[in-house]
Amino acid sequence: PNSDPSSLDSRDDCVRWIHRICEFYGTEFFPAICEAIEPIWKEDDRFKQRACLEIFSGLIGGSKHWNQEETAALWKWIMERWPTIYQNIKPDTLFWESLVSWCFTGRDPRRSQPLIDWLFSLDWDIAHESAFTLRKQLRFLANFYHAVAPRYFMPQKDRIVKVMFDNVNTPFEVAQRYIALILAILVQYEWQPSYPNLRALMDACRSGNDAFETKLAPYAQEIGEITTKLAVWRKERLPPPHALQSDFDHAAATVTQMLMGGIAVGGACVFMPHLQTLLPELIGLAEITDNPMLSSLGSAISRMVLSISLPTAYIRPVFTSLVDIARTSTSWR
């Protein structure tokens, strides 16, 4: 629990207190809670906003066993206020993003369907958003997929993947981080090897046909297109001091962060084909001297590639790629 009075993180004990009240007493205290929160949810004070977040989260969690009419009334009350609350979120009240975690982590996502409908009704033409609006929107989306992906529930993933790949060259560093995170989550959870019973699994293993789908390459077409674009953008890279404004720098930073997040998780095997595809474009990032962040990312991805245990199927291809890069590179480094 958050016991620091100066911290703005949501306090677990407060959320669970409201949760237990709603769980044990049903809707008995719902009118009183609504009456108490009504005067403060429009206020700018960040501590009052945090209290609203905790009450909203507790109400949603505690309504699990309410009947359909009671749940519908709760969500009607919340969604009448939520667009205004979201619109008024400022840098010091970004903790509202944790509402998504409280709603979806370890819970059936369908219980919070109105929030899902709202999230995907937002304007996802993110190329024209301001930096803070983009940051806020992407953080909510990243929290959502992080919470629901372990249940293999990823609504509108194809639409979102297209939006993310179309904007890998966004100039905003914070957006690059969240686009990389969202892509890493969506690619990772495409890996879903499953069999109806043990016999089917054993038969698949005996057949030698990649029983655990370790050679799966989700979104290979999109990755191939990004690789082609990176090669073009590298040639179009602006000279110093404007190099940091180049599409190549922006896109390379996003893709590198996606790979770094992907190859460090349990489903890393699905990132190996993409690593092999992108390696020729990314391996030379450490040599870039006019963009310290990109140079640092290049060094980090190189160390990770050399330190992780590659799946057997990718040892020779990745090693061959590294040798070819060393042979053909015009740089002595």
pLDDT of residue 47 exceeding 70: yes
Q: Average pLDDT, stretch 178-196? A: 90
- 106 CB neighbour count, 10 Å cutoff: 10
| 244-267: pLDDT as tens digits | 889 999 999 999 999 988 887 777
1 pLDDT band, cuts 50/70/90, is very low
pLDDT of residue 274 exceeding 90: no
pLDDT of residue 2 exceeding 50: no
Structure confidence at residue 316 (pLDDT): 86
pLDDT of residue 243 exceeding 90: no
Structure confidence at residue 4 (pLDDT): 54
307 in Cβ contact with 299 (< 8 Å): no
Structure confidence at residue 251 (pLDDT): 93
61 in Cβ contact with 106 (< 8 Å): no
Could you tell me the pTM of the whole model?
0.88
Lowest mean pLDDT among 116-130, 239-253, 306-320: 306-320
| 17-37: pLDDT as tens digits | 999 999 899 889 999 999 999
223 in Cβ contact with 279 (< 8 Å): no
6 pLDDT band, cuts 50/70/90, is low
Q: What is the CA radius of gyration of the chain?
A: 23
Burial-class residue 271 by CB neighbours within 10 Å (0-12, 13-18, 19+): buried
333 pLDDT band, cuts 50/70/90, is low
Structure confidence at residue 319 (pLDDT): 83
